[in-house]
Amino acid sequence: MADQDPYGAIKFGEFRKYMQNKESKLKEQESILGNQGESGIIPVLQGLSIHVNGYTDPPQSELRRLIVQYGGDYQHYLKKSKVTHIIATTLTNSKMEEFRAYKVVTPNWITDSIQQGQLLPWTEYRVIQNQSAQRELSFGPQLTSKASSSPLQTRQTTPKAKPDPTLQKAKSLSTRTESTSKPLLPLPQLQQSISTPQPYTDISMPISPHYTTEQEQNQLPSGKELNTALLANPWNRNNSSTNPDFIKKYYQSSRLHHLSSWKAELKDIVRKAKEQQQESTRLRPISSKRNDSHRLVMHVDFDCFFASVGIKSRPELAKLPVAVSHGKGLSKNSSSDIASCNYVARSFGVRNGMHVGRAKELCPNLQIIPYEFEKYKEVSEIFYGILFQYADEIQAVSVDEALLEMGSHITVAGRNEEESLALMVRNEIRKKTGCEASIGMGANILLARLATKKAKPCNHYYCDPQDVAAFLSEQKVEDLPGVGYAMKSKFQDMGVTTVGQLRQVAKSILLSKFGPKTGQTLYDFSRGIDDRRLITKQPRQSVSAEVNWGVRFENNEQIEAFLGSLSSEISERLKAIDRKGKSITLKVLVRAKHAGEAAKHLGCGECDSHSKSVVLDFFTDDADVIAKHVKHALKSFTFLAVDIRGLSIQIQKLNNDADQNISVEDNQQRRLKFDSVHDAVTHSNQHKPESSKSKMAIDYEMYMELPQDIQRELNEEHELEFITNPQQEDRPTELHQKDQTPEPAASNENITPPPAVVTQDPSQFLPALPNWSQLDPSALLALPQNMQKQVLEAYKSSTSSKHQYIDNTTTTADTGSKPISLKPSLSGNTSANGDYGKITKSTSPRRSKPRFSKKKNLNGITLTQLFPPSPKRTTIQNVEDDEGALFLSGDGNTTGAQLMVGTTDRYTMEGNGLAPAIRDLNPSDFTLVNGTHPKSMEIWPQLPKDIQQELLQTYYQEQRQKRIQNKTVTDVQKRIPSAPIQTEPILMGKSNLADVRTLLSAWVHEFSSAPDSKDVQTVTNYLKELVWCKDLEKVQLLLMHLDRITQADSINKTTWANSVQGMKESVSHEMIIVYGAPLG
DNA sequence: ATCCTCCCCTAC
DNA sequence: TAAGGTAGGGGAGGAT
Ligand SMILES: Nc1ccn([C@H]2C[C@H](O)[C@@H](COP(=O)(O)OP(=O)(O)OP(=O)(O)O)O2)c(=O)n1
Ligand SMILES: [Mg+2]
């Protein structure tokens, strides 16, 4: 259209399509639900558009049913422009912030209205901040007093990952944001009208009634104004991304960058040392494999590392409060970060990561000392030198911190050997570095880390296995490693403060609230269980470079230039470690709509994060290649240049040595087959001096479809210019529909196409291809079919079939630049997070949605009408296929089968009251699905979407099962000849620890009154097998697990204790047979 | 179920 | 002024 923002247009179109698809899909489900309702109801909710957030008392699914039934519009997603009301039971601060502009009401508003047959005033049901959120308001003062009274607990405010309490307070009290509480720039509406159109001016806001009465949100800050003002200051300009030397200078001064690169180096050193050591000890049997009974993990960590090193050369400061920072704190409101402060300063409430200004408020006498990066590195080298002498294994955690396996140092238990060992290490560190380190020890990483916290400062602590329970119970949840700000908030919502309380939370709740892995980890941690080994040799999986400070652009050229520099930077980093990658990701931080100038000087402030990745067909470390792809990725976004606050590039899917070989071979093979083409291309360019590559415009999608060696050739021989087919970028005519995310109008600040926009003309592409005559037919034939087609089409397009070519790119582009990248903007997620004022927000855009069991997805649709079921299987067979068929043990005992029927029914009915009979509608029962791709079925196009989906899933599931079956069959076949290889014992098809645990939990839960003796026998046999396989650790862990889960309240403790005891005795007996010693 | 992408989170 | 980087675990939701 008239504007020059085709990129915006395409994005817009996709956005709409995406949401529309989504909506129609979900709406189908609704009409189903709605039709189920009786007639004669009063549509009290007519005209309302309601979104349900989080956990509600009548559960989400029930509310949804009611809303639809009573004429309301249920919104699965929080779509700003549409939603009129949000249902929620509680509101934490972050949600409060996010929902600022909506009517947030309790579920009772719905139920009461329905009951009374009329819509009641929503204001009566307004959700106000909950208690826990209120409490947080007083966090600041508390922090101060608490910290001063108990220095050992200082970790309770972990350095980073905490929002500035004061900031948080301001937000929740007055719904003011960073911008409004610190208005740097006056923003008269006058200027807005003069300046370019405001794409972010919010059209949706007025539609949704305000949560509060204030007007502020109508005057959103303008990115351009903010930026212009900031960059008008030459000081700022010189220190921002507009300066070409910026990146280098920035990284030189960034403590976090130093920290990260040091860590990478250390991990590398440790890895290499280990490799060498393994080399030299190859002949010796490796004994220290997995003997957890004597495991001793030591966690060593310098006290206030940067500060200690700095104080060493400034002894006069030792007794004063000291902090390391760039800012000298001259200006009284310095937003400079404190990297590290000594314990004197901490007694005032000062913390690592805090801004100097705030710290000075707490401690006016705070002494600021500068960074001395070289010194930190020197001390660190000495430190690791010491560790290498003691440790069986080392995991580098940081410059000043490491985890060690020290089991070999302990000969006899109970002789305090741990303490003297720690003392020895600490003394040596003190002597050789002049700094204090603290040490924590325990039987696993978790306990060691917790012990360090308890030990600090300047001490050590051994968490004796006997004391674990008591020691753990008193810990605060946020002291658990991995629990940071976000999880702490979640716990706060749940009313969980201590690890002891956490232990009382049912595992099912943890799993559903935190996900399978995290839930299990939390469950284990609260019991002192931590199976993780030290990570000592894991190779690097990604390399990235990011800058989220000082990023202020005026136009697109600056962005592209900056991405160029960043690409070079990352290319150098890749080369330095001699690795290449094939996945490139661009991440862009964009100023949140309502955010003004960042709290931190030149910081990114509150941002939305957007990323886009591309997977290449080849490995690369080439700066130009990387730059081209990230620049292209950038164009798939539509941000204003002035709103960009951070940029980063990540390279993933790195080659390891094996890959490199494979890929080289792979390439060579292909190259051989493609020799003639290759030669032709290279040859034709040989006349030209290397330096002046010919320019070539090429459609990006087209390029991506080319074989990898051709891509490489093109990159090496030409200066590529990616273009995009303008036809596919056309702005949809529905543009003016107002409920869409506002699009940037054309303006200088827009990410506009590259200066040289080349219209789609295949002839422009042709010069890159060899002449027809040079194309070796055998080479062409050697290519996979789809590539053949592409090559041929590339040639064809020069003459007749331009059409085809365009069509082709259009479709690939459609799927290639998916609307996924838009999610952040449409979810409208915006909230503060992280530490003192930084932040890329993160109110999770993904609310917990109803999780449908597979069967539930059928939602009452009568599949039978479409497909008469094949001869029905027996119930038991049917059930056998189910995941839940835990204890249908090999001998086919009936108790197991009974149990399973029950379980399945419940599973099926979960939450939606579907009749058990629906089990029989499991699509896998329909022969039509068997082996046939659903899409190849004639009836396919006529099926409702969710049925299609269902069939697809079933199909893929079947395929997978076949694959697995084939595999096991062949595996077995292979294995049989090679006789006596011990296979891993399996319990109901599961072998890994977590799975078996889950099985056991399900078992115990299912038979809470008493176990079936056959099941006990099955489990016992399994444990015995483990004993034979020398997997004693697993035996131990599983028995502990059984101990734990049979002590739950819902369990009949007597019968179960007996059974478990019996199992233990059997295992012990087996131990004596196998090893001559009983269970420890 | 498993894989992939786009996040979020955590730690130093 | 100020230098809010980064690797890796993991979850949600979609595609296959
Ligand atoms: N937000 C943070 C946290 C840490 N660091 C740097 C400075 C620290 O000295 C070093 C080590 O981090 P620690 O978490 O170990 O903190 P300290 O060593 O300073 O204190 P302590 O370990 O005694 O709690 O990392 C930083 O720059 N910024
Ligand atoms: Mg430390």
* Partners of residue A840 on adjacent β-strands: A607
Distance A350 CA to ligand 1 centre (A): 13
CA distances to A28, A29, A82, A180, A934 from A919, rounded to whole Å, are 22, 19, 37, 56, 21
Residue A493 in contact with ligand 1 by CB distance below 6 A: no
- The model's confidence at residue A665, banded by pLDDT at 50, 70 and 90, is very low
Would the Cβ of A257 be found within 7 angstroms of any atom in strand C?
Answer: yes
Distance A834 CA to ligand 2 centre (A): 20
CA of A448 to C1' of B9 (A): 22
What residues contact A997, with CB distance under 8 A and at least 6 apart? A1037, A1038, A1041
Per-residue DSSP letter, A643 = G
Alpha-carbon span A845 to A824, nearest angstrom: 7
Closest protein residue to C13 (Cα–C1') = A846
Alpha-carbon span A649 to A584, nearest angstrom: 7
- Please name the residue whose Cα sits nearest to atom 19 of ligand 1: A304
Would the Cβ of A249 be found within 7 angstroms of any atom in strand C?
Answer: yes
- Predicted local distance difference test score (pLDDT) of residue A434: 97
Q: Which two tokens stand for residue A1020?
A: 């016992």
Residue A257 in contact with ligand 1 by CB distance below 6 A: no
* Partners of residue A559 on adjacent β-strands: none
Alpha-carbon span A965 to A498, nearest angstrom: 46
Would the Cβ of A160 be found within 7 angstroms of any atom in strand C?
Answer: yes
Q: For residue A657, count other CB atoms closer than 10 A to its CB.
A: 10
- Predicted local distance difference test score (pLDDT) of residue A973: 30
Measured to protein CB atoms, the chain C nucleotides within 7 Å are: 1-14, 16
Residue A255 in contact with ligand 1 by CB distance below 6 A: yes
- Please name the residue whose Cα sits nearest to atom 26 of ligand 1: A339
**A152 contacts A146 by C-beta, under 8 angstroms:** no
Comparing A293-307, A434-448, A1028-1042, the range with the smallest average pLDDT is: A1028-1042
Residues 81-140 of A with CB under 7 A from strand C: none
The arithmetic mean of pLDDT across residues A396-423, rounded, is 94
Q: Which of A14, A20, A26 is nearest to A945 (CA)?
A: A26
- Please name the residue whose Cα sits nearest to atom 6 of ligand 1: A339
Q: Which of A171, A333, A362, A244 is nearest to A341 (CA)?
A: A362
CA distances to A35, A579, A912, A943 from A918, rounded to whole Å, are 19, 53, 12, 19
Q: Which atom of ligand 1 is least distant from the CA of A341?
A: 19
pLDDT tens readout for residues A476-498: 999 999 999 999 999 999 999 99
Ligand 1 site-directed mutation target among A156, A258, A301, A340, most atoms within 8 Å of CB: A340
A329 has a pLDDT exceeding 50: yes
Closest protein residue to C11 (Cα–C1') = A515
Residue A1015 in contact with ligand 1 by CB distance below 6 A: no
- The model's confidence at residue A442, banded by pLDDT at 50, 70 and 90, is very high
Q: Which atom of ligand 1 is least distant from the CA of A398?
A: 11
Does A621 carry a binding-site annotation? no
- Predicted local distance difference test score (pLDDT) of residue A470: 95
**A313 contacts A363 by C-beta, under 8 angstroms:** no
Would the Cβ of A1029 be found within 7 angstroms of any atom in strand C?
Answer: no
The arithmetic mean of pLDDT across residues A223-236, rounded, is 69
Distance A438 CA to ligand 2 centre (A): 8
Residue A42 in contact with ligand 1 by CB distance below 6 A: no
**A946 contacts A861 by C-beta, under 8 angstroms:** yes
Phi, psi of A234 (to 5 degrees): -60, -30
Comparing A243-252, A568-577, A814-823, the range with the smallest average pLDDT is: A814-823
Residue A340 in contact with ligand 1 by CB distance below 6 A: yes
- Predicted local distance difference test score (pLDDT) of residue A695: 66
Provide the CB-side half-sphere exposure for A746 (13 A, CA).
Answer: 10
Give the residue with greater pLDDT, A14 vs A68. A68
Distance A103 CA to ligand 2 centre (A): 46
Domains, chain A, ranges and CATH?
A: 15-116 (3.40.50.10190), 539-657 (3.30.1490.100), 993-1075 (1.20.58.1280)
CA of A136 to C1' of C1 (A): 31
Residues 228-267 of A with CB under 7 A from strand B: 256, 259-260, 263
A401 an active-site residue? yes
Closest protein residue to B1 (Cα–C1') = A957
Comparing A367-376, A591-600, A899-908, the range with the smallest average pLDDT is: A899-908
Would the Cβ of A397 be found within 7 angstroms of any atom in strand B?
Answer: yes
- Predicted local distance difference test score (pLDDT) of residue A497: 97
Closest protein residue to C14 (Cα–C1') = A820
Would the Cβ of A892 be found within 7 angstroms of any atom in strand C?
Answer: no
- The answer for A175, left when phi > 0, alpha when psi is -120 to 50, beta otherwise, is left
Give the residue with greater pLDDT, A826 vs A255. A255
pTM: 0.58
Kindly report the length of chain A.
Answer: 1080
Ligand nearest to the CA of A457: 1
Closest protein residue to C6 (Cα–C1') = A260
Distance A679 CA to ligand 2 centre (A): 58
Distance A158 CA to ligand 1 centre (A): 10
**A723 contacts A700 by C-beta, under 8 angstroms:** yes
| ipTM for the whole complex | 0.98
- Predicted local distance difference test score (pLDDT) of residue A118: 86
A670 has a pLDDT exceeding 60: no
Residues 105-164 of A with CB under 7 A from strand B: 158-161
Q: Which residue has the tokens 């949401």?
A: A19
Comparing A78-82, A115-119, A978-982, the range with the smallest average pLDDT is: A978-982
A586 has a pLDDT exceeding 50: yes
Highest mean pLDDT among A218-222, A876-880, A1010-1014: A1010-1014
Residue A311 in contact with ligand 1 by CB distance below 6 A: no
Does A436 carry a binding-site annotation? no
Q: Which two tokens stand for residue A153?
A: 């607990």
Distance A377 CA to ligand 2 centre (A): 14
- Predicted local distance difference test score (pLDDT) of residue A376: 98
Would the Cβ of A602 be found within 7 angstroms of any atom in strand C?
Answer: yes
Distance A361 CA to ligand 1 centre (A): 21
Max alpha carbon distance in chain A (Å)?
89
Q: Which two tokens stand for residue A519?
A: 């839930």
Would the Cβ of A829 be found within 7 angstroms of any atom in strand B?
Answer: yes
CA of A340 to C1' of C6 (A): 19
Residues 547-566 of A with CB under 7 A from strand C: 547-550
Query: Which nucleotide shows the minimum CA-to-C1' distance to residue A251?
Result: C3
- Predicted local distance difference test score (pLDDT) of residue A92: 53
Residue A303 in contact with ligand 1 by CB distance below 6 A: yes
Closest protein residue to B6 (Cα–C1') = A611
Percent of chain A with pLDDT over 90: 34
Q: Which of A1031, A1026, A1029 is nearest to A1063 (CA)?
A: A1026
Would the Cβ of A963 be found within 7 angstroms of any atom in strand B?
Answer: no
Would the Cβ of A895 be found within 7 angstroms of any atom in strand B?
Answer: no
Closest protein residue to B10 (Cα–C1') = A482
Q: Which atom of ligand 1 is least distant from the CA of A306?
A: 9
Comparing A341-350, A701-710, A768-777, the range with the smallest average pLDDT is: A768-777
A357 has a pLDDT exceeding 80: yes
* Partners of residue A441 on adjacent β-strands: A298, A462
A538 has a pLDDT exceeding 90: yes
A419 has a pLDDT exceeding 70: yes
- The model's confidence at residue A705, banded by pLDDT at 50, 70 and 90, is low
Does A301 carry a binding-site annotation? yes
Q: Which residue has the tokens 């034939």?
A: A781
- The model's confidence at residue A859, banded by pLDDT at 50, 70 and 90, is very low
Numbers of helices and strands, H then E, in chain A: 43, 18
- Predicted local distance difference test score (pLDDT) of residue A250: 96
**A623 contacts A573 by C-beta, under 8 angstroms:** no
Comparing A45-54, A242-251, A671-680, A1060-1069, the range with the smallest average pLDDT is: A671-680
Percent of chain A with pLDDT over 70: 50
What residues contact A576, with CB distance under 8 A and at least 6 apart? none
User: Annotated catalytic residue: which of A393, A401, A950, A1006?
Assistant: A401
Residue A353 in contact with ligand 1 by CB distance below 6 A: yes
Highest mean pLDDT among A655-659, A683-687, A828-832: A655-659
* Average pLDDT score over chain A: 65
Residues 578-637 of A with CB under 7 A from strand B: 583, 585, 608-613, 615
A993-1006 helix and A894-909 helix, angle to the nearest 10 degrees = 90
